[in-house]
A and B are shown apart, each in its own frame.
Chain A
Amino acid sequence: MTPGSNVETKTAALRPRANTETAALPQRLHGLRALAGHRAIWPLLALALILAVDGAISPGFFNVRIVEGRLFGNLIDILYRAMPTAVVALGMAVVIGTKGIDLSVGSVIAIVGAVITWRIHSGDPHLVVLMAALAVGVLCGLWNGFLVAVLDIQPIIATLILMVSGRGIGLMINLLYGGTNPSFTSPLLQGLSVGHIGLVPTRIILGAAIFGALWLLIRRTALGLFLESVGGNAAAADLAGINARLIKYAAYVICGFCAAWAGVVLAADTHTSDPVSIGLYIELDAILAVVIGGGSLSGGRIYLGMTVLGALIIQALTTSILTSGLPPEYNLVVKAFVVIVVLLLQSDNLRAALSKGFTGRKR
C-alpha cells in the first residue's frame, strides 16, 4: 500500500458521515461500487447472462409479437410460467424470514385444486369457489402456524405433516364425488390463469398485484420488521414485546394464501384436479428462489423483489434449456450448476477474494 493511500483511508475513517467520504472518490467509480455492492446485482447479472446466451444460441429469442391480441414471445413465456413459483416463493420468503420453512406449499396447491373441482361439480357459483379456494390456503396456513407457533414443533417437521398428508387429502376429496382425476371448466378461473387483460396475461398482472400488496404489507407497515425480528432472534423479540406467536401465524397464513393462489392458477391451467402431480416439487423451487434472492435459511431477512428475481432465474434456465435444443434430460443438472454459480457469486467471502486478486494484479 502506498503512503498516500494509507493517509487517505485513515482520514476517510475519521470522517463521521459516509457522504463526505464519497465526495472524495471520483463520482463514477463510486457509482460503480455502489452498484456492485447492491445485493441485486449478481442475480440480475446471472439473469442477463442466461438471456444473453439464449439470444446467441437462438436468434429471435427476444422477439415479442402480438398474436391473437396478446403478447407472445420467450420473455413473456418466462414471466408467464414463472408466476406460480414466484408467488409461492414470495410466501416462502416471508416464512423463511421468520426462521421457518414451509414444505407443504405443493400439497396446499393439490388440496386447493381438488376443492375447486369438487365445488364446481357441486354447482357452487365460481366466485364462491374462488373464495373457498383461497380460504382453504389460509386454513392450511393456520394449521401450519398452529403446529409451529403454538405446539412449538420445528417448522420443517410441522409442515412435513401437511406435505405428506395434503396430496392424500386431495385424492380423498376427489373420491367424494367419484373419479380419479376429475376435470372442470370455469371461464372465471381459467380467465385468471390463462386469460389476458389487454395484451398482458392475467396471471402476470395478478402476480404483480400480489407482489405489490405483499410489499405494502411488509414494508409499509411494521409487520416486516416484526417478522425479521422474530426470525433474527426469537428470545430478543419476545423481550422487545413482540407477540412472536401471532407473527409466526401471520407468516404461515401469508404463505398458505400465496400457495392457494398458485393452486388456482395451476388447477385452472390443467382443467383437472390431479393431486398426485400438480405443483410437484414447487416447494423446492420456491426455497431455491428465496435463497438465490439472498435470503438465508437462518432467518432474519426478507427480500421480496430478490425472491421474484430468483424465481425468474429458475424459469429462464428451464426455458432456455428447452429452446436451446439441449435434451430436456440436461435440465436439472444444468440448473443445479447455474444455481451454484449464482450462490457463489453472492458469497461475500468469495467476492472479497476475487476482488483482492483483481486489484492485486492491477497494481
Chain B
Amino acid sequence: MLGVSKAFPGVRALDCVDFRVQAGEVHALMGENGAGKSTLIKIMTGAVRRDEGEIRIDGRPVEINSPGEARALGVGTVYQEVNLIPTMSVTRNLTLGRQPRRFGLISWRTARSLARERLKRLRIDIDVERPLGSFSLAVQQLVAIARALEDDTRVLVLDEPTASLDADEAELLFQIVRDLKGRGIAIVFITHFLDQVYKIADRISVLRNGRLVGEGATAELPRLKLISLMLGRELEETEERLEALPHGAKGEPILLAEGLGRRRVMAPFDLTLRPGEVVGLAGLLGSGRTEVAKLIFGAIRPDSGRIEVGGARIASHSPGQSLRHGMAFCPEDRKAEGIFAELSVRENIVLGLQTKRGWLSRLSYSEQERLAQEMIEALGIATPDADKPVGQLSGGNQQKVVLARSLVSGPSILILDEPTRGIDVGAHAEIVTLIRKLCAEGLALLVASSELDELIAVSDRIAVLRDRRMIGEIGSGDVTRETIIRTIAGARS
C-alpha cells in the first residue's frame, strides 16, 4: 500500500501511509488508540474506501472496494471484535455465503464436514452444531480465524486476535500463525501486547496520528525504541509515575461479601475490600473473574450469601442499588455491555451520575458539558467534541468513555473487569496512574484481569479463582507471579 490517505469528518485518519507486507512474514502493525491501525486494515480489506494512494499485490495495482473483492484477491480478515453471528451454529458461521450445494439445495452434511475440516486446520475440536454464542470468546475468535482462512488466502489480517485469549490459547494461536507463515501466507498482526510482538513478528510498522513513523525488522527495533515511536515520547516518565504512589489499606472494610454465590455460576465466596485497597481477581479464562465482579455489583443476582457496603446490607441486589450504595462497574465487553454507540460522548459519560440521581433530577446541559469535558481531559479521550457519537471513536477511547462513566458517579468502590483490554501503552499508563490516585484518595478497587503482570503491579491482595470457585487469597507482600500460578495450579500456598 503506497501513500494511502483517508479522512473522516474532523479527523485525518491516515496521511500518505506506505505499508508493505511480504509473503511468509508476520508483520506487526503497532500504534496507540486512534493512530490509524483500524482504518488502514479496513482499507486493506475493503471495508472502507481510501481517498488517495494505491494498493498493489505482487506489484500489480488492485482495486479493493468491498470485502468480497478483498477476499477474492486473497486478503482474509479477523476483526478486533468477533464479527460472527452468535445465534447461528458454528457450521453456519463458517459456511455462510458459500454453502456447499447439492442439486441446488444446501447440503448440510457437506457443510458440517467442511466446517470440521476448517477447524481441524486450527486444531480445534468442537461440536459444530452448537450455536457459536455458547462457546467462550476464545473459541469464537478461533472460529473467526477459521472463517477468514481460505485455501487461496495470501494475506491474513489479525486485528487484536489475542485480546480475549489466555496464555495457552495465545500460544496455540501462535503455533497456527507460524504454520501459516511457513505456507507462504503474509500475516498482518495487530496487538497491544508487546511480548507477543517480539515472540512472533518478523517485521514491525508503527503508526502514529495517521502517519507511518517507523518500520523495520523486529530484531532491529528494541522495545524501548518501539514504545517511544508509538508514544512519540520517552517512556521512562510513565514508568516512573507508576511506582510513585504507595498504596495500602486503611480502616474498616467498606465492602463485605459473605457466602455470595449463585448456583451453576459461581460457588459461594467471601470477599472484603477496604478503602484505598486494590484487590485483584486472578484466574484463567472462564475461572469466574467476571462472575465474581458481576455478583458483587448485582448484575448477576446472587442466590446465596449477603453483601454489606459501609456496614449497611444491600437487601435487594441490583446494579441500580449498588450504584446508590457507591459502587461503580466497568464491564469487560465494551461493545455489548459498555457503550451506547448512538449516544454522544457526553451522554454516555453523564449517564453514570444521572442513574444515581434518578430520572427526575436531570443534570442541566451546562453541568453535563462540564462533567464530560472534565473526564475527556482527565482520561485523555481523543474526540473532537463531547457531542460525537461514541460509536465513531476508536476502541480504546470507547473503553475510556466507559471508565469515565463509572468514575463520574463518584464511587467509593470501583469494580473494573479487564480495564486495559484493547488499550494501548500510553493510555494504559494513564489509567493505572489515575486508579492509583483515586486509591490514595480512599477508593476501594476490585480488578479482574487476565494479565498477571498488571494485577501484580496494582494489587494489594489477589483472590485466585479456578473453575468458578475462589480457591485462595494471596496477601500483601506475597503477591508474585509464582505464588499466583502455584495457587491456580492447585499447590497449597
A binds B: yes
Q: Which residues of A contact B (CB under 8 A)?
A: 9-10, 13, 17-18, 220-223, 225-226, 228-229, 232-233, 235-243, 296, 300-301
Residues of A within 8 A of B11 (CB): 13
> Do the beta carbons of B320 and A242 come within 8 Å of each other?
yes
| Most chain B CB within a 10 A radius of its CB, from A10, A238, A240 | A240
> Do the beta carbons of B343 and A241 come within 8 Å of each other?
no
Q: Which residue of B lies closest to A232 (CB)?
A: B340
Q: Which residue of B lies closest to A217 (CB)?
A: B359
Residues of A within 8 A of B10 (CB): 13
> Do the beta carbons of A225 and B7 come within 8 Å of each other?
no
Residues of B within 8 A of A235 (CB): 336-337
Residues of A within 8 A of B354 (CB): 222, 225-226
Residues of B within 8 A of A229 (CB): 340, 343, 351
Distance A300 CA – B391 CA, assembled complex (angstroms) = 12
> Do the beta carbons of A300 and B337 come within 8 Å of each other?
no
B79 within 8 A of A: no
Residues of A within 8 A of B338 (CB): 233, 236, 239
B contact face: mostly helix, strand, loop, or mixed: mixed
Asked whether A240 and B351 contact (CB < 8 A) given A18-B384, A229-B340, A232-B342, the answer is: yes
> Do the beta carbons of A228 and B340 come within 8 Å of each other?
yes
> Do the beta carbons of A225 and B299 come within 8 Å of each other?
no
> Do the beta carbons of B336 and A13 come within 8 Å of each other?
no
Asked whether A225 and B12 contact (CB < 8 A) given A240-B319, A241-B320, the answer is: no
> Do the beta carbons of A232 and B343 come within 8 Å of each other?
yes
> Do the beta carbons of B352 and A240 come within 8 Å of each other?
yes
> Do the beta carbons of B359 and A241 come within 8 Å of each other?
no
Partner of B359, one of A221, A233, A240, A301: A221
Q: Which residue of A lies closest to B360 (CB)?
A: A221
Q: Which residue of A lies closest to B363 (CB)?
A: A222
| Most chain A CB within a 10 A radius of its CB, from B12, B299, B336, B340 | B340
> Do the beta carbons of B357 and A228 come within 8 Å of each other?
no
Task: Using A17-B385, A222-B359, A225-B343 as known contacts, list a sample of 12 further A-B pairs with CB atoms less than 8 Å apart, ordered by residue number in A.
Answer: A10-B12, A221-B362, A222-B354, A222-B358, A226-B359, A232-B340, A236-B331, A239-B319, A239-B331, A240-B352, A241-B324, A242-B351
Residues of B within 8 A of A13 (CB): 10-12
B304 within 8 A of A: no
Distance A223 CA – B329 CA, assembled complex (angstroms) = 22
Q: Which residue of B lies closest to A227 (CB)?
A: B359
Q: Which residue of A lies closest to B10 (CB)?
A: A13
- Give residues 309-359 of B contacting A (CB, 8 Å): 318-320, 322-324, 329, 331, 336-343, 347, 350-352, 354-359
Taking residues whose C-beta sits less than 8 angstroms from the other chain, chain B's interface range is: 35 or more
Residues of B within 8 A of A17 (CB): 385
> Do the beta carbons of B12 and A243 come within 8 Å of each other?
no
| Most chain B CB within a 10 A radius of its CB, from A18, A229, A241 | A241
Residues of A within 8 A of B7 (CB): 9
Asked whether A243 and B320 contact (CB < 8 A) given A18-B385, A222-B359, the answer is: yes
CB distance from B410 to the nearest CB of A (A): 14
B112 within 8 A of A: no
Residues of A within 8 A of B342 (CB): 228, 232, 296, 300-301
12 interchain pairs (CB within 8 A)?
A222-B357, A222-B360, A229-B351, A232-B341, A232-B342, A233-B341, A236-B331, A236-B339, A237-B340, A239-B337, A240-B319, A240-B405
Residues of B within 8 A of A300 (CB): 340-343
> Do the beta carbons of B359 and A223 come within 8 Å of each other?
yes
Partner of A242, one of B15, B331, B339, B355: B355
| Most chain A CB within a 10 A radius of its CB, from B297, B299, B342, B361 | B342
Distance A241 CA – B10 CA, assembled complex (angstroms) = 33
Distance A221 CA – B361 CA, assembled complex (angstroms) = 7
Q: Residues 8-19 of chain B: 1 if any A CB is under 8 Å from the residue's CB, otherwise 0? A: 001110010000
Distance A222 CA – B347 CA, assembled complex (angstroms) = 10
